[in-house]
Chain A
Amino acid sequence: MIQDLLVYVVFMGYAIGVMLGIATLFTWVERKQSAIMADRIGANRAYIRIPFTNIKLVWMGLFHGIADGAKMLLKENFTPKTYDRFCFNLAPWLAAVPVLVVFAVIPFGGTIVPGDLIPALHDFFGSRSYTMQVANLDAGILVIMAISGIGILGTMLAGWSSNNKFSLLGAARAASQMISYEVSMGLAIICLVVTYGTLDLNQMVQWQSGTLFGFLPAWGIIVQPLGFILFLTAAIAENKRVPFDLPECESELVAGYFTEYSAMKMGLFMLSEFIEIVVVSALLVTLFLGGYNLPYMNDTGFVFPGGSTLAMSHLAVVVTQVVTFLVKVVLVGCFQIQIRWSLPRFRYDQLMRFGWKFLLPFAAVNLVVTACVRWLTL
């Protein structure tokens, strides 16, 4: 029992560390990548000086994230005259916490057997094995949908309780946008559930470690290419980033639903946005890009299309899986940032039209086709 507790505490620490770490990294990537795209230098000012020396560590502006965080924490926390202080203070938490919770069900590695990994602990752990996942739920994908839906409440509450017309407009946009795109997202996920035949994210990843027609890695993106595009689009819309950043578009609504927020409350909204990039990337990786596995790889090693195999030690497998997952998440995140800096934003009615008249029919057709194929091949 104590062993389980210990392992899961480590997993939780790792999950939180990964989310916050990569989210902070993404604030830097966003700056640096956009700078490279626009032929600029980008963030290069913040530095850490080694005490009592004149050595300044700039590290390509990597410390800007820390400077940002410190700024957010130290700024004046201005609260407008609002009729509902409680909701006003609650809203940032409602926006940030669900995003954090969603990561709990995402597997960031395959099965780990601590006793085999570290021989010294063999007596303590025995032959217990764990999947590298904070909460190993058999209905993981449903939990994700359910919890990420709560985030909408945070934005709505923020806009409504700010007592500001721009915030209210932003909140109305946010609510209708997120609810609309959740429909297409849900349909895209149902296609996957039909294909994989499971709701468990870990089993989905294992399904993807197989091959298709004997040589293609059976990744979700190959089995469900349309589903991937639908899910990616809907996920960016859920995340409220360009081209779907209408709830907070700075040129019309000042800052949208968080216009009246300052200091760390505003920081929480910003942070939750970046954490959501991580979560969305992790979800995309898990559902469509083979999860923590490299192509042709499973928990014991590689099985190549020709039938040749490459066995790996447990330690090598665990390290490869963890690193693969992180690299994939970062790459998908960079891809999202690339989209964000290439496109202008939609208009509100165009966004709704796109969601309901374009994405939804495609998602529905995709579901019907998937179901037919599944029915015929069963």
Chain B
Amino acid sequence: MEYKSPVRSFLEETADPNNVVVNLGPSHPATHGTIQVIAELEGETVKRADIHCGYLHRGFEKEAEHHTYHKVIPYTDRLNYCSSLNNNFAYAETVEKLLGIEITPRCKWLRTLLSEYNRVADHVTCIAATVMEMGAMTAFLYLMTIRDYMFEHLNHLTGARLTYSYARIGGMARELPDGWLDRLEEILQFHERYIDRIHGLLDRNRIFIDRTRNVGCMTPEHALNWGYTGPILRSTGIAMDVRKDNPYLAYDELDFEVPVGINGDNYDRYYVRMREIDESVSMIRQCVKNLPDGPLNVDNPQVVLPEKQKVYTQTESLIRHFKLIMDGIPVPAGEVYCSHEAPNGELGFYLVSDGSGRPYKLHVRSPSFNHMGGMHTLLEGYQVADIIATFGSMNMIGGECDR
């Protein structure tokens, strides 16, 4: 019997003999090596499309079952690697929820600040990639300059440019360095100057509007049916945002708006992201103003690692350190779902604990994966060139989609 691959495309031959099947990716400049689009073309029009993801599957969920709760944090960095901090905080809060601990006010506000900061970086990256694929190289480079300043700045705080692993269960890895918040304000001002240039280059650019308006359109019902969240859902006009609807961290104390689009097309997705960047910048400024003093980590020896100095000098701390590293945090048995508004949409962690130091099951509700489910509906009927533009504006992140 001939072996038939279960993941083989349903598009093996064209319905119409005059059409041609074109394979875009995974080795294609626009698909980042992480996705395959098989498209049936009639001339330049896409008749049918088939999206294959999974090229970056690393077994995150299975891997998590073999690591203690702390050791999962670096893995969460690799989910949406453009905004690692949001993943870190979502995961940490999931575990904290099951542990039933309340983080300190300073930690709460700092996490909010960093979430928004990383959201700006993520949106900037997404817009940059989209416009670059449409050929606007200078706009891309302006945005990349902003992102690079932010990465350098976060590097100063966390020690890494991309995969920060900054959160800890019950707190953070370390305090803010001196002068970090001053530099933050400098970068925000620099960012605003550059974002103005982007508005000038793109917002009313006839070619850009033609390329993005009424391309990859969807109705609110369609977006809800396919489980879309985040900027993509909001671009259709539904003001759904986990930060507003189910406030976590310090979001209920912040003053911000949820920008929405009208058409749900590429231009709206671009514009919603641009507006969200503005909102995030304003939220960062509020966080800086409200950032309270006080301890960063909770005072709970069962959860938080002892200071290194004490580990080297005190027996109790050494034992505690050993137990926390080897056995993990004893999380009570139970299950919990916690979701944060990641830059791409609702990022949820579903955690089942059997009372040991390792998760029994950790499931991720990653926005990109849901977005890819209905992606083909946004491609069919449009042009080949629109595959790239739509794909860019969907901000598919392989690490998060394929886990």
- Give me the interface of A with B, judged by CB distance under 8 Å: 34, 37-40, 165-166, 169, 242-243, 245-246, 249-252, 254, 341-350
Contacts and interface: CB of A to CB of B under 8 A. Distances in A.
Contacts of B132: 251
A252 B383 CA distance: 11
B385 A348 contact: yes
B131 A344 contact: yes
Most A CB atoms within 10 A — which of B205, B384, B388? B384
A342 B28 contact: no
Contact of A38 (B135, B142, B202, B384): B142
The 9 closest A-B pairs by CB, nearest first: A345-B135, A38-B141, A344-B136, A251-B133, A344-B134, A251-B30, A347-B385, A344-B135, A251-B388
B207 A344 contact: yes
Given A243-B135, A341-B138, A345-B135, A252 B384 contact: yes
Contact of A243 (B24, B131, B133, B207): B207
A166 B24 CA distance: 10
A38 B131 CA distance: 14
B387 interface: yes
Contacts of A34: 137-138
Most B CB atoms within 10 A — which of A40, A245, A249, A344? A344
B308 to A, nearest CB: 41
A343 B383 contact: no
Given A38-B137, A251-B135, 9 more contacts: A169-B44, A246-B385, A249-B135, A251-B133, A252-B384, A344-B134, A344-B208, A349-B44, A350-B207
A245 B133 CA distance: 12
Nearest to B134: A344
A349 B385 CA distance: 10
Interface string B383-397: 111111000000000
Contact of B136 (A39, A343, A349): A343
Interface in B357-393: 383-388
Given A169-B384, A251-B388, A344-B208, A242 B22 contact: no
Interface string B93-135: 0000000000000000000000000000000000000011111
A180 to B, nearest CB: 15
15 contacts: A34-B138, A39-B145, A165-B20, A166-B22, A169-B22, A169-B44, A243-B135, A251-B29, A251-B30, A252-B384, A342-B138, A346-B210, A347-B383, A349-B383, A350-B210
Contacts of B30: 251-252
B211 interface: yes
Task: Determine the interface band of chain B, counting residues with CB < 8 A from chain A.
Answer: 20 to 34
B124 to A, nearest CB: 15
A356 to B, nearest CB: 15
Contacts of B24: 252
Nearest to B140: A38
A169 B133 CA distance: 18
B201 interface: yes
Contacts of A348: 44, 383-385
A233 to B, nearest CB: 12
A254 B141 contact: no
Nearest to A242: B135
B134 to A, nearest CB: 4
A347 to B, nearest CB: 5
B22 to A, nearest CB: 5
Most A CB atoms within 10 A — which of B136, B139, B207? B207
A343 B211 contact: no
Contacts of A37: 138
A275 B293 CA distance: 64
A254 B28 contact: yes
Nearest to A346: B207
Contact of B138 (A38, A251, A345): A38
A38 B145 contact: yes
B81 to A, nearest CB: 21
Contact of B201 (A251, A342, A349): A342
